[in-house]
């Protein structure tokens, strides 16, 4: 079993839809990052979470430490949200583990 | 613009060439990282530098040699690479590293645009 998994692997949505991307992990962590990678490779760090919930614009990230689960929500999705979304863990032993990513395509 | 720049953006090299990738951060951060992203694979952490000292080396082959001359610059020297080393190489920086035993303070990493490397 992989230490971090994401679902779905691929997602196609219509513009305006509410989107949820999930991340589950099996190791102890000190923080969890949600990253956004656009075509061409550039990566932007969206959130760093160690507990609770964070909101930035149309993006909301939550984490449940007990259940070892985090979700990234996008409200009112837009074609410019099309990207790969990556969940990354900073483990309790200072190791960084990246999830396989979720490829999101938002259609006008 | 994340404040982290990488050059070159694209590089094609033969297996016998020697080349270097450069990363520069303008954020005053103390930690810098090299990652490798191969097609259809998760990101792989290669090297971590904190205050110019290497703190992590994730079993990377010796044909990849990092150098951190100061806290703003990070190099990845490449020699006798293999075609399977073709990938996107990403540099990142953060204000501080999380230090084991000193609580859970961590830092968001800011990534550069990457260097697309092709080894022929």
pLDDT tens for B58-110 read 678 999 999 999 889 999 999 999 999 999 999 988 876 643 333 333 456 77
Contacts of A90 in chain B (CB under 8 A): 98, 106
Contacts of B107 in chain A (CB under 8 A): 48
CA distance B111 to B35: 10
Contacts of B113 in chain A (CB under 8 A): 40-42
Contacts of B33 by beta carbon, 8 Å cutoff, 6+ apart: B45, B46, B47, B48, B49, B91, B92, B93, B94, B109
**A40 touches B at CB < 8 Å:** yes
Percent of chain B at pLDDT above 70?
82
For the cut 70, the answer to whether the pLDDT of residue A91 exceeds it is yes
SS3 B120: coil
Neighbours of B97 (CB within 10 A): 21
For the cut 70, the answer to whether the pLDDT of residue B36 exceeds it is yes
CB atoms B113 and A42 under 8 Å: yes
| Shortest CA gap B115–chain A (Å) | 9
Q: Which two tokens stand for residue B53?
A: 């000292």
Q: Angle at CA B10, nearest 5°, toward B4 and A96? A: 50
Q: Which two tokens stand for residue A10?
A: 């691929």
SS3 A79: helix
3-state helix, strand, coil in chain A (%, to 5): 5, 60, 35
Q: Would you say B94 and B108 are in contact if contact means Cβ atoms under 8 Å apart?
A: yes
The CA-atom distances, in angstroms, between B70 and each of A14, A25, A62, A93 are 47, 35, 37, 26
Task: Answer with the residue of higher pLDDT: A41 or B8.
Answer: B8
- Residue A51: the pLDDT is 87
pLDDT tens digit sequence for A41-76: 566 778 888 889 988 889 999 999 999 999 999 999
- Residue A29: the pLDDT is 87
- Distance linking the first and last C-alpha atoms of chain B: 31
């Amino acid at each position: 079993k992989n230490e971090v998994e994401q679902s779905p692997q691929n997602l196609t949505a219509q513009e305006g839809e509410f989107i949820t991307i999930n991340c589950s992990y099996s190791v102890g962590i000190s923080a969890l990052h949600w990253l956004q990678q656009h075509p061409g490779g550039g990566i932007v760090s969206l959130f760093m979470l160690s507990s609770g919930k964070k909101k930035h614009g149309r993006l909301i990230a939550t984490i449940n430490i007990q259940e070892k689960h985090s979700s990234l929500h996008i409200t009112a999705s837009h074609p410019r949200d099309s990207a790969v979304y990556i969940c990354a863990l900073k483990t309790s032993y200072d190791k960084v583990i990246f999830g396989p990513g979720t490829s999101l395509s938002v259609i006008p | 613009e994340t404040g982290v720049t990488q050059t070159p953006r694209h590089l094609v090299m033969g297996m016998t060439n020697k080349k270097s990738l450069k990363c520069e951060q303008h954020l005053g951060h103390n930690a810098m990282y090299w990652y490798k992203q191969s097609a259809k694979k998760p990101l792989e952490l290669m090297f971590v530098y904190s205050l110019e000292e290497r703190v992590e080396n994730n079993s990377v082959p010796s044909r990849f040699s990092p150098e951190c001359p100061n806290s703003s610059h990070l190099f990845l020297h490449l020699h006798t690479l293999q075609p399977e080393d073709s990938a996107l190489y990403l540099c990142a920086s953060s204000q501080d590293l999380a230090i084991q035993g000193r609580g859970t303070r961590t830092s968001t990493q800011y990534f550069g645009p990457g260097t697309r490397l092709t080894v022929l």
